[in-house]
Copies of this chain bind each other. A is one copy, B any other.
Amino acid sequence: MSFDKLLRPSSIAVVGASTKGGKVGNSVLVNILEGGFSGEVFPVNPKAGVVEGRKCYSTLEAIPATVDLAVIAVKRDQVLSVLRECGRKGVHAVIVITAGFGETGDEGRKLQQEIMQVVRQYKMTMMGPNCLGLINPWHKLNASFGQKLDEPGPVALISQSGALITAIQDVAASERIGFSVLASLGNKASLDEVAFLQNLQKDVNSKVIAAYLEDISRGQEFMRVAEQVNKKKPVIVLKSGRTSAGAKAASSHTGSLAGSDSAYSSAFQRSGVIRAESIEHLFDIATALAYQPLPGGDRVAVVTNAGGPGIMMTDALEMAGLSMAKPTDSTKEKLHALLPPAASVCNPIDVLGDATGELYGRTVEVLLDCEEIDSLIVILTPQKMTDAAGTARAVAAAASKNEKPVFCCFMGARIVAEGVALLREKRIPQYSVPERAARAMREMVAYSRYKARPLRVVDRFAVNKIPVIKIIKASLGRGMYEIGEADAKTILEAYNFIVPPGMVASSVEDAVRFAGEVGYPVAMKIASPDILHKSDVGGVKIGLANAQAVEDAFELMMLRIKRRRPDAELRGVLIEKMITGGREVILGMKKDPQFGPVLMYGLGGIFVEVLKDVAFGLAPITEEECYTIIENTRSYRLLSGARGEKPVDVSLIVANLQYLSQLVIDFPEIDEVDINPLKVGQTGDNACVVDARIILSKEA
């Protein structure tokens, strides 16, 4: 409701409207007026009588009408009182352009908190502070101090960088990409990317939502909302701060704690968000999705009038993971009938250097009718007889007869300019080089697949929370944040993990009796909440084959550890049956500051430690996502029995990942889990936790 007043106000007050050209308070007013806004506009400035030919009011309260939207461009110290005035006046939406808040020092942050109180108190919608403003070309609204209003279109752009908006607007205008909304998020104190996604989901003018973001502060909500939105319209995000140096630059700029890039990637993948690699890539994808239907599959046909660019396109498509469509014999016959004898009717289809626009058009028509082709890219290089404009017209006409995506790649500049302009007018995406077309097509295919997927369902398993609650409570009660092996295994067992039969023995007699009960050979590990690196103090013995060995080990262990760590509370020794056979894998979880629990999987040994061959997913996770994670590791083929290895039952790993996911969602007190290793057997066998530890949050 309030958001609608922001996007489509009937009346606007510009507070801080200035008579001085060049000042922000003047630019905003001029932009609103010159944009042709059809509602009422009220300049507010106690020192001016008339601004830009309009009567100026000394205060908001003096305006003799309701105000839907207030754009605030006053000095920093006046913002708070102006916002209070807005509240009292019943203003629904405010855009705070003024800077000097959260992005600066402590004083700014405090002020930002104060203005947020006022915004909440009066239930207003606020953009900013520290932003360029908002533009809605469909409503002829240019409430910004940026560029002039351009033609409306289907792309909504939200940006955490105001400076980028101007650059993008400028490029978009010259490429005739129209926007439905351009919003500068500024400090995102109130309206952030999540709020915009929620609201733009319903905006009929926005067919595609593109975003430039430096951080996402409500990670979980972002995923939930982005998933919903993506089922209706595509969300494309360019997230900067991907590398450690970039993240450092970003966090010094936004003041926010950077989440890890792998968490962002996992979050985007889960919620179907398309990740753009650059501003160019962002718009290459946005135009494709805004202007063309989605492809039914990944089989691309290429039409070209020159061999070289056809080869480049083939390379680019294959590198993008797409397939070159294979024309059937019947398709080839139709092409033969149409094209000169020297033409190639294999894909790429080479219509030869002297092809006319008409020949291009007829070829496109034939190909789009073929079932074996899901999408089409038309390459044109300027040659002697080439008619770029005619080809553009013919291709656009042929494309309009079918519900398959068609891209163009007209290469050159001035010679093809008229053709390119026509393509843009006809909403056929045009790319200057093959590689950009191929990458945009890849994202179209990926989005089409995402959209067709059923909604994600997270399985819930019957578990026993009681032991978990008890152990966590006890640990926290003692001020202990690290839960050792014995208790960690009890927790995991309560969540359906299988742990080796074992008991904690506090005397040598108990140790021998227990060992007999669980069966030889056994492993013995010191049980002490104070000792985390058990091996370092000689607290681990394995492969103990009989009672004598257990007796010896127990006494030596106690003797030595008491000597080395006189401070440690020793609860005894964990006696466990040794697990033989099976493949070692590692499961883990770490909390990301933005996206919460990030699950990790890797094959044990050199794969995790040397090759860093690990994959990530976010909890709560689905069964399908668990399989995807595991398949994403390079070592995956080893699990399926490559090279004579015994195949491992992957479904066991999947189930354990799901248990882990449920555990860390149920207990947000858990900050970190490390199951290393989990021993996984073949089909019919089990997966068994050999060692584990859990770390609790200090904020819990």
CB distance A415 to B104 under 8 Å? Answer: no
A610 to B435, CA, bound (A): 30
CB distance A250 to B311 under 8 Å? Answer: yes
Contacts of A642 in B (CB 8 A): 606, 609-610
How would residues 348 to 385 of chain A score, 1 for a CB under 8 Å from any chain B CB and 0 otherwise? 10000100000000000000000000000000011111
Least Cβ distance of A634 to chain B in Å?
6
How would residues 299 to 342 of chain A score, 1 for a CB under 8 Å from any chain B CB and 0 otherwise? 00000011111111011111100001000000000000000001
CB distance B643 to A170 under 8 Å? Answer: no
Least Cβ distance of A605 to chain B in Å?
8
Q: Which of A248, A314, A353, A635 has the most CB of B within 10 A?
A: A314
Least Cβ distance of A390 to chain B in Å?
16
Least Cβ distance of A147 to chain B in Å?
8
A104 to B382, CA, bound (A): 22
Q: If A249-B311, A307-B253, A638-B610 touch, does A163 touch B241 (CB 8 Å cutoff)? A: no
Residue A494 at the B interface, CB < 8 A? no
Residue A167 at the B interface, CB < 8 A? yes
Chain B, residue nearest A317 (CB): B245
Q: If A171-B412, A413-B174, A414-B170 touch, does A164 touch B308 (CB 8 Å cutoff)? A: yes
Residue A240 at the B interface, CB < 8 A? yes
Chain B, residue nearest A100 (CB): B342
Residue A243 at the B interface, CB < 8 A? yes
A187 to B47, CA, bound (A): 78
Contacts of A535 in B (CB 8 A): none
Residue A662 at the B interface, CB < 8 A? no
Residue A432 at the B interface, CB < 8 A? yes
Residue A598 at the B interface, CB < 8 A? no
CB distance B383 to A163 under 8 Å? Answer: yes
Residue A244 at the B interface, CB < 8 A? yes
Chain B, residue nearest A348 (CB): B249
Partner of A243, one of B278, B315, B382, B638: B315
A27 to B27, CA, bound (A): 54
Q: If A171-B412, A307-B253, A643-B606 touch, does A163 touch B434 (CB 8 Å cutoff)? A: no
Residue A512 at the B interface, CB < 8 A? no
CB distance B643 to A610 under 8 Å? Answer: yes
Q: Which of A147, A306, A342 has the most CB of B within 10 A?
A: A306
Contacts of A342 in B (CB 8 A): 104
Chain B, residue nearest A172 (CB): B413
CB distance B318 to A245 under 8 Å? Answer: yes
Quick one: copies of this chain in the complex? 2
A166 to B353, CA, bound (A): 12
Partner of A214, one of B174, B252, B311: B311
Residue A212 at the B interface, CB < 8 A? yes
Partner of A240, one of B164, B171, B212, B311: B311
A170 to B432, CA, bound (A): 12
Q: If A170-B382, A638-B606 touch, does A278 touch B308 (CB 8 Å cutoff)? A: no
A385 to B174, CA, bound (A): 22
Least Cβ distance of A13 to chain B in Å?
22
Contacts of A171 in B (CB 8 A): 411-413, 432
Q: Count of A residues near B, CB < 8 Å?
A: 86
Contacts of A353 in B (CB 8 A): 163
How would residues 382 to 416 of chain A score, 1 for a CB under 8 Å from any chain B CB and 0 otherwise? 11110000000000000000000000000111111
Contacts of A212 in B (CB 8 A): 308
How would residues 20 to 33 of chain A score, 1 for a CB under 8 Å from any chain B CB and 0 otherwise? 00101001000000
A319 to B50, CA, bound (A): 54
Partner of A309, one of B164, B314, B638: B164
Chain B, residue nearest A315 (CB): B246
A240-290 interface with B by 8 A CB criterion? 240-246, 248-250, 252-254, 277-280
Least Cβ distance of A25 to chain B in Å?
12
Contacts of A319 in B (CB 8 A): 242-243
Chain B, residue nearest A385 (CB): B22
CB distance B412 to A167 under 8 Å? Answer: yes
Chain B, residue nearest A611 (CB): B634
A606 to B250, CA, bound (A): 40
CB distance B384 to A145 under 8 Å? Answer: yes
A630-669 interface with B by 8 A CB criterion? 634-635, 637-638, 642-643
CB distance A312 to B240 under 8 Å? Answer: yes
Partner of A166, one of B307, B311, B412, B609: B412
19 additional A-B residue pairs with CB within 8 Å, beyond A249-B307, A278-B434, A606-B643: A161-B307, A163-B305, A163-B309, A164-B381, A166-B383, A166-B415, A170-B413, A170-B416, A174-B414, A241-B315, A246-B318, A249-B314, A250-B311, A253-B310, A279-B411, A280-B432, A606-B642, A609-B642, A611-B611
User: Could you name 26 residue pairs across A and B whose Cβ atoms are closer than 8 Å?
Assistant: A145-B384, A161-B307, A161-B308, A163-B307, A163-B309, A164-B381, A166-B383, A166-B415, A167-B411, A170-B412, A171-B412, A171-B413, A212-B308, A241-B315, A242-B315, A242-B319, A245-B314, A248-B314, A249-B307, A249-B314, A249-B348, A250-B311, A278-B436, A280-B432, A606-B642, A610-B635
The chain A residues found within 8 Å of chain B, CB to CB, are 22, 24, 27, 104, 145, 147, 159-164, 166-167, 170-171, 173-175, 212, 214, 238, 240-246, 248-250, 252-254, 277-280, 305-312, 314-319, 324, 342, 344, 346, 348, 353, 381-385, 411-416, 432-436, 605-606, 609-611, 634-635, 637-638, 642-643
Q: Which 10 A-B pairs have the closest CB atoms?
A: A161-B308, A163-B306, A246-B315, A243-B318, A167-B411, A163-B381, A253-B307, A170-B412, A174-B413, A167-B412
